[in-house]
Structure 1
Amino acid sequence: MERSLGEATTAAERDLEAAISRVSPWQGHRLRYRSVSGGINNANWRVWVDDDPATFFVKIPGKGTEMFVDRAVAMHASRQAADLGIGPRVYDFLAADGIEISDFVETRRSCTHADFRNLTLSRTAIDCYRTLHGGAMLSQTKTVFDRIDETHEQVRMLGGWQPPDFLKLDHQYRRARAALEASGLDLVPCFNDPMAGNFMTDDAGTIMMIDYEFASNNDRCYDLGVWFAEMFFDEPTERALIAHYFGRADPAIVARVTVHQALADLTWAAWSMVQLKMSVLDFDFFKYGVWRYRRARAVLDDPRWDGWLKAV
């Protein structure tokens, strides 16, 4: 429901009104807003200023997100993506408060998993990844290993749920980490959060990437692996996209991306159990986390797992 400034009836609306009231260029203007669905970390809003057809996207950080999101790094990555032409314009209005304001992308729609069944569109997304990875290093390096260790510690600290076979999963994580560190990490600026809705397309089939709050310097094969896992690509599609990115799909690269897929699922599974304890958003984090653990096992229990670890 669209509301005008001063009409808030919920805590989330009051938080939004308190924020946009502090935006200096908007003071004295008529402000309207509407909730934007889809986020599982934050409260997202669309804001109108007077009768200007151009509108703004406002992200209010969710409770507990400071445990795993550095808002200054997210802002840095968002600005860099905008400069590279793969993200929307970002404003400094409330950056000091960790509140991100950007252009609301009027001419695009959020992608779905079905969209990425189109190999041409998926190749376009790969081109965006290559552009992002070619940019200047970000102000934070946080590898998948850092993320896993951080979230496992948070789960323990909060008394969160862990699966009965956690020690087995953790053992395989340690093996994968040792193999990847022995081969050397290929650190580049990474997106790290490739939900389908974080890609926006238009009628021309171009792609824009939004929501950089998990961005960091990380291994480029993690960025590809977590996206492949998120999109449920089959192995031939994965090889085709690896070849599009690298110019080849040799066994070592395929193995490296595949191992990172399993690590991505372990990351987001543990993250879900942290969110289950901290978030007030209406989302079934337990179901999501259990499902991610199950999918990680599908890779870790694959008879090719030992071979992949040797190949990386």
Structure 2
Amino acid sequence: MDQGGTAADLVAAPGDDPAVAALLDTIPVTAEHPRTVVDLPGGLTNRNLKVTTPSTTVVVRIPGPGSELLEIDRDAEYRNSTAAAQAGVGPPVVHHRPGHGITVEFLPGRTLTDDDLRDPEILGLVATACRKLHAGPRFVSEFDMFAVQARYREIVATHGFRVPDRYDEFAPTVDRIRVALGARETVPCHNDLLAGNLLAVPDGAGGEEIRIVDYEYSGNNDPCFELGNIWSEATLPRELLDVLIGAYYGRERPDQVARAQLFALMSQYGWTLWASIMDGSSTLDFDFWEWGMEKYERALATFDGPDLEKLLDAAGGVR
């Protein structure tokens, strides 16, 4: 992007945008002509372009405007993406321009939906992909939602962004959750596994396997955060968390189910502030506040509900 303009410039239809053309001409794997360029849906902090030339098809990921306050480390994203590819889970990285974006191989497959994740067989494939990622090369960065939430809260306060009613009331409970979860044994985690970041691709044997894309928030973390976040993002019923945990560990693990539920609560609580930051800073035509409030309402139901003490006990914490 050094010669192709900034991400903010890339706003026209990609096939007609001179800035896109100038950018792609500077990337070796996309410079070949003729080429077709289409926007891929779903990106809120990136613009994702599918580029097809006579030689290859790739996805060019360009950081979007309005995401600077989220403290995304783009160099770590690139290096962790490379590690995930080495683990056999992420798409191979074919180009990187420091500070501006990366280009990865296009994976032919279908993007999962929340409804897909209600299928226990699909959840088993997701658990297998997570195990493969978690057993792969260690990432260069760390991810701790307790620390992320605290940083986001400072950013929201500094900029005067909106905060939901009662938000800070739960700070003492968050401290208790941290104690209950105890010391974390961390592995390479994606940390943002909504269905749109999961692809079902042919496995070469007539079936499918799950591949994982978009490593903006990746970092070494507790695997139960990953599993709880999957369950939370897809708003799956409680029994499917048992399925996911059982598939991941190979047996029933009630203690890890409780840990995943607590991490899911922290995911909802922390990502609420992500939405607040984007609501106050992004120019995208998207209702970030409504998106965040849906998560916050689910967090409230757990904070105020009857099962929190049981979860704290089951996770091994102190009261």
TM-score by length of 1: 0.89
Q: Answer yes or no: is 1:101 the counterpart of 2:103.
A: yes
1:19 equivalent among 14, 20, 23: 23
Structure 2 CA distance for aligned equivalents of residues 188 and 145 of structure 1:
17
Deviation at residue 11 of structure 1 after TM alignment: 9.2
SS at match of 1:194: coil
Distance 1:178 1:9 in 2: 46
Helix, strand or coil: the match of 1:78? helix
Of 259, 267, 272, which residue of structure 2 is paired with 1:269? 272
Which position in structure 1 is the counterpart of 2:3? none
Return closer, same or farther for 1:268/1:76 CA change in 2, 3 Å cut-off.
same
* Aligned 1:52-201 pairs, distance under 5 A: 52=55, 54-67=56-69, 68-92=71-95, 94-105=96-107, 107-180=108-181, 183-201=182-200
Corresponding residue for residue 253 of structure 1: 256
Unaligned runs of 5+ in 2: 1-9
Task: Tell whether the 8 Å contact from 1:91 to 1:101 is kept in structure 2 after alignment.
Answer: yes
Distance 1:256 1:55, change over 3 A: same
C-alpha separation between the residues in 2 aligned to 1:191 and 1:265?
A: 16
Q: Which residue type is aligned with residue 232 of structure 2?
A: A
Q: CA deviation at 1:307?
A: 2.1
Letter in 2 for 1:102: V
| Structure 1 moving runs of 4+ over 6 Å | none
Structure 1 position 300, deviation (Å): 1.6
Match of 2:284 among 262, 281, 286: 281
Alpha-carbon spacing, 1:186–1:28, altered in 2? closer, same or farther (3 Å) = closer
Gaps of 5+ in 1: 1-7
Deviation at 1:72, TM superposition (A): 1.1
Q: Assess if the C-alpha contact under 8 Å between 1:121 and 1:205 holds in 2.
A: no
Q: Residue 6 of structure 2 aligns with which residue?
A: none
**Structure 2 Cα separation of the partners of residues 232 and 309 of structure 1:** 21
Tell me how far apart the structure 2 counterparts of residues 58 and 160 of structure 1 sit (CA, whole Å).
Answer: 31
Q: CA 1:235–1:47 in structure 2 vs 1: closer, same or farther (change >3 Å)?
A: same
- What amino acid is aligned across from residue 24 of structure 2 in structure 1? I
Aligned counterparts of 1:234 and 1:9: Cα–Cα separation in 2: 39
- By how many angstroms is 1:270 displaced? 0.6
Q: CA deviation at 1:28?
A: 6.3
Deviation at 1:249, TM superposition (A): 2.9
Which runs of structure 2 are paired with 1:163-242 in the superposition (5 Å)? 163-180=164-181, 183-202=182-201, 204-242=207-245
| Distance across 1 between alignment mates of 2:25 and 2:240 | 48
Contact 1:62 1:279 in 2 (8 A): no
- State the distance in 1 between where 2:306 and 2:18 align: 53
Name the residue aligned to 2:4: none
How far residue 26 of structure 1 moved from its aligned partner, in angstroms, is 4.5
User: How many correspondences in the alignment?
Assistant: 299
TM-fit CA distance, 1:129: 0.5
Equivalent residue number for residue 45 of structure 2: 41
Residues 155 and 270, structure 1, Cα contact 8 Å, conserved in 2: yes
Q: Provide TM-score, normalisation by structure 2.
A: 0.87
Contact 1:273 1:289 survives alignment (8 Å): yes
- What's the counterpart of residue 4 of structure 1? none
Asked if the contact 2:79–2:139 (Cα under 8 Å) also holds between the matched residues in 1, the reply is yes
Tell me if the contact between 2:188 and 2:219 (Cα under 8 Å) persists in the aligned partners.
Answer: yes
Identity percentage of aligned residues: 29
Take 2:11 and 2:308, find their aligned partners in 1: how far apart are those partners? 53
Q: 1:233 to 1:25 in 2, by over 3 A?
A: closer
Distance 1:15 1:221, change over 3 A: farther
Whole-angstrom distance in 2 between the partners of 1:283 and 1:258: 28
State the one-letter code of the partner of 1:77.
N
